Amino acid sequence: MTRFAIIDIETTGIQFKQGKITEIAILIYQNGQIVDQFESLINPETSIPFEITRITGITNEMVEQAPKFYEVAKKILEITHDAIFVAHNVQFDYSFVKEEFSALGYSFSRKKLCTVQLSRKHFPGLKSYALGNLIKHFNIEVTDRHRAYQDALATSKLFHLILHANDHATDFMNQLVSNVKDAKLPGSLKREDVDAIPDEVGVYYMCNESGDYVYIGKSINIRERIYQHFSETGYKVSKMLRQVHRIEYTLTGSELMAQLLESSEIKKYSPEINRAQRSSKDQYAMYRTLNDLGYFQYLIKHKEWLDEKADVVQLFSSQKKASEYLDYLIHEYHLCEHVNGLKKNELLPCYRYQIGICLGACAGHETKESYNERFEIMHQKINRFFQRNFILFDKGRSESEVSVFVIENGFCNAIGYLDKDNSYEQPEVLKESLKSFRGNIETNGIINQYIKKHPSLRKIYF
């Protein structure tokens, strides 16, 4: 019968890279009841902030004589062996436990279930799925909130309710377990090799027996994403199972760095499975050029057929959408459809000029200089170039460094890692310590989206 390790921890903070565990409770749930348990205060070997003490009641004096994590690590491994790691907001508890073991040089790996996600699915419509609100909603008896044992006990009661939320609890249990079953791996990959891959952000490379990359991907949790690949079905996965011989990876610290690295590596190596699964998203480009008579115009091509130096301003998922947008621009900015579609060395009055929309470049009533000047103003409004030069800072691969991205003359042209303690205010000095990077319209889109999601990132304009 499946064993579930229902776990709750208290910590010195909310970031697993900076915080430490101060208390842990583990309840082993099997056959509908608690069959084993372990709880202990833990000496975090650092001071507990006042606000944390206020919330949990755990003081520095209480943990002073408590065992350090390495002293209870063996017990945690033993009691959770062959059990599924269950917690309310499981990624929080799992990340702290994983990090504590990592500091000891051990890679902790367990299958996971989250009672927040399960509660949302099986008890829809509640105002909040925080543990405190669920305790109130289901009248779960708790004597001491924000202490590990009581919160783990409350989570176990919630888990029991979830399992028995319908009349077929046994069937549901089997279905639940099947969702976290072991992934089927390629014959040449050993499970211990995959388990040794960090559950951190970075780029991974699936290699065939000859060492060629057949698939390149990125993830905020590389190991979990690889297992996810092999737990799925479909043509892509079947190719992975046949071809993948080993997996390499590069940790990036920064999710943005992972996205940019993945983009450039796929372009550089063109892995077979990446090519096969390439979707139609953003496959058509609208770019600026000069026509035969020297007028600016926009043309549309599939991006695979573009010259690398093409002045691309937008990307589209289909040629139809690109054409519709171009038609909108011609109408909105009073451009000439004949000029924009010119393929011969002469101009003829267009239909839009006859109805008063075109300003008359095609009829000789607007000079080339005036037309191109108006076109340039529009171009600056709609293009996806960065209009200002700036340096962007993000997380590094360790606490002592930051990742750095230099955006200059419209594109990202340098990336890398620098010492966190230095200010690096001078762009030219800073760039000497970075790697050159060939940004493009796609990477601009990646950077723009990332900045929108993380508006507090540090920027220096120059």
Residue positions annotated with a catalytic role = 146
Q: Where are the alpha helices (DSSP H) in 81-221?
A: 90-103, 115-122, 131-137, 148-163, 169-178, 191-195
CA Rg value for the chain? 29
Distances (CA, A) of 130 to 117, 126, 169, 194, 211: 11, 10, 24, 33, 47
Distances (CA, A) of 420 to 204, 395, 404: 26, 9, 10
Cα–Cα distance measured from residue 34 to residue 10, given in angstroms and rounded to the nearest whole number: 21
Amino acid, single-letter form, for residue 47: S
Quick one: 176 exposed, middle or buried, by C-beta within 10 A (0-12, 13-18, 19+)? middle
Cα–Cα distance measured from residue 442 to residue 439, given in angstroms and rounded to the nearest whole number: 8
Q: Where are the alpha helices (DSSP H) in 362-458?
A: 368-382, 427-431, 441-453
Cα–Cα distance measured from residue 99 to residue 102, given in angstroms and rounded to the nearest whole number: 5
Neighbouring CB atoms inside 10 A of 150's CB total 18
